[in-house]
Copies of this chain bind each other. A is one copy, B any other.
C-alpha cells in the first residue's frame, strides 16, 4: 500500500460575489477532483485550530502529523533546508527578499519586480563574497532560491533566533534595524552580525553590474536584502521513525514546503519546469509523482500556484490554476493502481482572494483508496466536504488516518 498526499497551497477560499457566491474551487471545472470525491471520503480540516490562519510551514508540519504549536521554530531554517542548504542545530537561518529601495532609503518594491532567478543567483554570488570581521566570530551562507526569495544562514558560536525582522512587510518605509528580542548576549550578538551583513549586502548590491543592467532595462534593481523569520531547525522525529519503514519523498517547488518535508526526513525530488508559479509545469509534476511512487511509499505533491493567485487577489487566475491542478490530479489518479494506492488531496490553508491573506476557515480534504468508507460526496469543494464522512478534523489528524490505511500505525493497547 502506498500513498500520494497532494497539497494545493492556499486553495481554500470564501464565497465571492463575482463567482455567483461560489469559492474559486466551487466555481472551477474540476471533473477529476469530483471523481476522486465520489470515490472517496471527504471532510474538512482546521490546519491548526478553528479560526487560526496558518502559515504554509506550520500547516505542512501539521499535515505531516506533527504538533506544530509545539515543534515550530521559525520559518528561516525550513526555507533554507528546502533550498538544499544544510542547517545544523545552533545555526540561525532567515528567509530573505531581494528588494528595491530608492535614494531616500525607502522601500519601493519588496520583491525587486519579482526578479528572475538568473539575476538573483548572480547577485547572490556577489553577496557570498562579503567578508565579516574576525571580531564577529561568525560566518554566513547566502543563497537565492526562487525569484526574489533567498535564505541567509548565520553560523558560529552563541547565536539566537530571538531576532526581529529587517523586513517591515510594506513599502514606503525604510528597512528596519534588526533587534534582539530578549536580553541574552546571543540575541544581541546575532542582531549585530545580521545588521553588519545587511549593511555590507546593500553596499555590494548598489554597485553590482547585474543591478546596473536591470536599471538600464527599466527593471527595479535588487539593491537591498530584507530578512525575516529567524529560525532554527525544528526538533522532530523523522517521518520514517514515526511510521516505521515509510520512505517519503516530496515533489514540490517552493523551498518552505520542501523544507518541512526535508526536516521530516523526506527526499526532495527536483522536477524540471516546476516553478512554484501559476506557470509551473503541472503535468511534469504529475508524471514525477507517479514515477516517484514506484520507489517511495509516500509522495507529497505540493503546488504553490493557488496561493500565488490568492495573494494577488486574482480570482479568475485562481480558478484557472485549480483547473490545471484538476488535470494534474486526474493524471495521478488514473496512473496509479487504485487497489494499492491511497490518494489524499487538501490544501494547507484558506487564502482569501478578497483579503489576500491566509485565513482561519477550515479546508476541504478527501481520501480515496481501497476499503475507504465512501461517503457519497458528489463534488469536491469547501461546503460539500463539510458534509462528508470524515467530519471536521485537525490538520495533524489526517496523516495518522492515512498511515493507518497503509498499515503503519501501532495499536495502542491490546
The contact string, 1 if C-beta is below 8 Å from chain B, for chain A 252-274, is 00001000000000000000000
**Who on chain B is nearest to A386 by CB?**
B389
Q: Is the C-beta of A51 less than 8 angstroms from some C-beta in chain B? A: yes
Contact A391 B229 (CB under 8 A): no
Chain B residue contacts of A383, Cβ below 8 A = 373, 375, 389
Contact pattern, A 386-398, Cβ under 8 Å of B = 1, otherwise 0 = 1101111100011
Distance (Å) between the CB of A343 and the closest chain B CB? Answer: 16
Using A53-B409, A409-B52, A411-B55 as known contacts, say yes or no to A404 and B359 having CB atoms under 8 A apart: yes
A400 interface neighbour in B50, B398, B399, Cβ under 8 Å: B50
A95 beta carbon closer than 8 Å to chain B: yes
CB A207 to nearest CB in B, in angstroms, measures 32
Determine if A57 and B414 form an interchain contact, defined as CB atoms under 8 angstroms apart. yes
A372 within 8 A of B: yes
Chain B, Cβ-Cβ closest to A393: B50
Contacts of A49 in B (CB 8 A): 397, 400
Q: How far is the CB of A130 from chain B (nearest CB, A)?
A: 26
Binding-face segment, A67-75, A106-114, A297-305: A67-75
Whether B354 contacts A371 by the Cβ 8 Å rule is: yes
A219 to chain B, nearest CB (A): 27
Q: Is A402 interfacial (CB-CB < 8 Å)?
A: yes
Contacts of A392 in B (CB 8 A): 390-393
Contact B414 A361 (CB under 8 A): no
- Which residue of chain B is the closest to A50 with respect to CB atoms? B397
Question: Are A72 and B373 touching (Cβ within 8 A)?
Answer: no
> Nearest B residue to A404 by beta-carbon distance?
B360
Q: Which residues of A contact B (CB under 8 A)?
A: 14-15, 21, 23, 44, 48-59, 68-69, 72, 75, 95, 229, 256, 352, 354-355, 357-361, 371-375, 382-383, 386-387, 389-393, 397-404, 407, 409-414
21 contacts between A and B (CB under 8 A): A14-B371, A14-B373, A48-B412, A49-B397, A49-B400, A50-B397, A50-B400, A51-B401, A52-B404, A53-B409, A54-B413, A55-B414, A59-B413, A69-B412, A360-B409, A361-B373, A375-B383, A383-B389, A386-B389, A386-B391, A390-B392
Pairs of residues from A and B, 9 with the lowest C-beta to C-beta distance, nearest first:
A55-B413, A51-B400, A58-B413, A391-B392, A360-B404, A51-B401, A50-B397, A55-B414, A14-B371
